[in-house]
Amino acid sequence: MATAALPRWIPRDLRHQWLFVSQTRAYVDALRERHGPLVPYRDKAGTAILLLTAEGARQVFAASPAGYDAFWKEGFLGLAGAGSLWVLGGEAHRRERQLLAPPFHPRGFRGYGQVIRAVTRQHLETWRPGQTRRAVDITLAISLDVILRLVFGVEESQFVEAGRGVLTQVLHTVHPLIVFFPWLQRPWFPFWRRYARARADYSAWVNAYLAERRARGGPADDVLGRMLTASYDDGSRMTDAAIHDELFTLLVSAHETTAAAVAWALYELGRHPPVLAELRAELKPLGLDPDPDLVVKLPYLAAVCNETLRLHTLLAEVGRVTTAPLECQGYTIPAGESVCVSIMAIHHDPALYPEPDDFRPERFLERTYSPSEFLPFGGGHRRCLGAGLSDYEMRIALAEIVGHWEFEPAAVEREIRHDIAMGPKQGVPLRIIARREPGPAMSDPGGRGEHVHA
């Protein structure tokens, strides 16, 4: 099929850039309505092609990885470092993913479930009936401890407490302005100065922990252990600088996104009691201490998680830079162009998801969506490496919370862009009603077979 040159470039001023960052959903919906599935735009940073449909995403992800380089290198280079998967391209990117992939393969998750459940239960012990708590506070704490255990391999108390402090601090200083406007990554800019201090503290902590890990030795059954012991094809090992950068990349990629996903799921379940009842009915036959590997296979739980990730898209867009011409949506995109797939637009496309603003997990039981139609973790050769672990953690943590607590939203939430990812503006305030304990049938007034303790 013959292809055409790109349509005219659409100028995008600072106001439009800000709308893209701060009101992403409304902005991409307006672009699709006005310009169609492909929007070439030009601003002070250069040019880019924004793709707003699943077909555009499919064509981008199906193209050879050799035809792409990393997107937004300038912004991510200052943030994560030259050794980050976000920045690496070509053969260097392939080698890095190949080395890091084994710990993130689903077959390696066996045993992770017990850790995730134990961490979740530990943090839930702080809840009390009658309190109003921000769901994100506890889901962030759960996610951070899971990362410390399963990615960093931290178990010693002195490193756990210090790690929580430095990792929390560095995450809180990743401001959208220093990501999307790299020219602000300068010592005179307060947000960057604060981030640079936090990153230096993070690096000092990682250095100390690396020295301790090397002195201790032991099995390499966590992600850091893999980094310390695995070799590239040529027999070389990862440098300490590369380890720093990749640990930071995994931290930013997995921590807030997983926490936000669980918090959004609690928000939607609290707003939709029939969905919550259906989920609890599915969980109940597994008992008080279900095997986590059975929990993650529950179809309705999977549907609830998927619908949450669709409705509350955490990664709003993913990008590539073409190194070869790309045929897409009937046009020829030349080499050297930035190509962005709008996950936000695809997940809210009414042609794919009728009534896209409704929370309806049954969508994912009624049909199977392709990787270009449902893509919460991106797609193609640069899909988020920790996607499987994030999904695994979300299902186990969510099942643990809804199985043991009654709650309801205490405020109406909306989405904002926190740093690289989207998240709830208020952190999902929840009113904690009671602790639930499964018990004999008809033991509670509703006949649900549960004891409810206010």
Joined together, the tokens standing for residue 172 give 């809180």
CA distances from 332 to 40, 106, 317, 328 (A): 12, 38, 21, 6
Q: Residue 418's pLDDT is what?
A: 75
pLDDT at site 433: 96
Q: d(Cα 242, Cα 230) in Å, to the nearest integer?
A: 13
What is the secondary structure of 160-211 as a DSSP string?
HHHHHHHHHHHHHT--HHHHH-GGG-STTSHHHHHHHHHHHHHHHHHHHHHH
**Residue 294: pLDDT band with limits 50, 70, 90:** very high
Tell me, yes or no, whether 183 lies in a domain: yes
What pLDDT does 451 receive?
52
pLDDT in tens, 418-452: 767 899 999 999 999 999 875 443 334 344 445 55
Q: Is residue 255 part of a domain?
A: yes
Using alpha carbons, list the distances in angstroms from residue 154 to 80, 118, 122, 163. 21, 15, 16, 8
What is the average pLDDT across 202-208? 92
Q: Return the closest-CA partner of residue 314 out of 115, 131, 433, 136.
A: 136
pLDDT for the residue 453: 52
Q: Residue 50 sits in which domain range? A: 10-453
pTM: 0.91
Mean pLDDT of 214-228: 79
Distance (Å, rounded) from C-alpha 362 to C-alpha 79? Answer: 39
- 301, 292 in Cβ contact below 8 A? no
Provide the number of structural domains found in the chain.
1
Q: Could you report the per-residue pLDDT of 114-168, keeping only the tens digit for each?
A: 999 999 999 999 999 999 999 999 999 999 999 988 888 887 667 788 888 999 9
Higher pLDDT, 109 or 317: 317
Give a yes or no: residue 2 inside a domain: no
Instruction: Give the count of alpha carbons within 13 A of 72, CB side only.
Output: 18
Supply the CATH number for residue 49's domain: 1.10.630.10
What ranges in 320-454 are assigned the alpha helix state H? 343-347, 363-366, 387-404
Q: Is 3 inside any structural domain?
A: no
Other C-beta atoms lying within 10 Å of the C-beta of residue 15? 8
DSSP code of 327? E
pLDDT of residue 111: 78
pLDDT at 134: 96
pLDDT the model gives residue 6: 78
Which residue type occupies 412? V
Considering the chain, what percentage of its residues have pLDDT values greater than 70? 94
Domain assignment of residue 428, yes or no? yes
Domain annotation covers residue 330: yes
pLDDT digits (tens, 9 = 90+) for 23-43: 888 889 988 888 889 999 887
- Predicted confidence at residue 235, as pLDDT, reads 87
Rounded Cα–Cα distance for residues 423 and 315 (Å): 9
Residue 1 lies in a domain: no
Within a domain: 4? no
Q: What is the pLDDT of residues 358-413, one digit of tens each?
A: 999 999 999 999 999 999 999 999 999 889 999 999 999 999 999 999 999 999 99
pLDDT confidence of residue 152: 87
pLDDT of residue 3: 67
